[in-house]
Chains A and B, each alone.
Chain A
């Protein structure tokens, strides 16, 4: 029933993210808290009507750097397990672009580790996003630093 994944994994996928099964994978009898974050594709950015998105990764470094972020989260006290999965390829409005889940003994550590993972992944993992707008234009979007 349980997965073969390490307790702190970073993955890339071109398939829709199944949050229910990811959440189910995060179970431990010592876990009193589970905090999850999902980043979704929204239909507007800085006044432009967005039609869809495309994510592109530099996979070799993305997986390596993503794993480092997860290992850093693992080194935080009381965090039991964490998973992060990021989409690549074409995404439609409302789809989940990234998902982070953390379990820990108490809520404080889970909230903190979840925040840490999403912030570090955005800053350090080589994934690029191109927004396609309703007016036909498109643009590569940079994360705020």
Chain B
């Protein structure tokens, strides 16, 4: 079973991916599997334990399921302040 999601990229990952956003067809059941899939495909080089995830504008856990229509953002460590 696959789902179609939108991934938005910021900062380091935006530069690595070369895109602000993309639509992706994935069979990943949860956010962790999706990150691993995308990170491997594009050679992100960021380990998942240093990254957080937001789904539909809420920071959530890696085991959060992925559903069609979700907007997903992977958050590398912050640098504000």
Contacts and interface: CB of A to CB of B under 8 A. Distances in A.
Interface in B49-63: 54, 57-59
Interface in B40-81: 54, 57-59, 73, 75-81
A61 B79 CA distance: 15
B81 A142 contact: no
Residues of B in contact with A, size category: 10 to 19
A86 B11 contact: no
Contacts of A142: 76-79
A20 B81 CA distance: 19
Given A61-B54, A126-B80, 5 more contacts: A58-B75, A86-B80, A125-B80, A128-B79, A142-B76
Interface of B: 8, 10-12, 54, 57-59, 73, 75-81
Interface of A: 39, 55-58, 60-61, 64-65, 86, 97-98, 118, 121-130, 140-143, 145
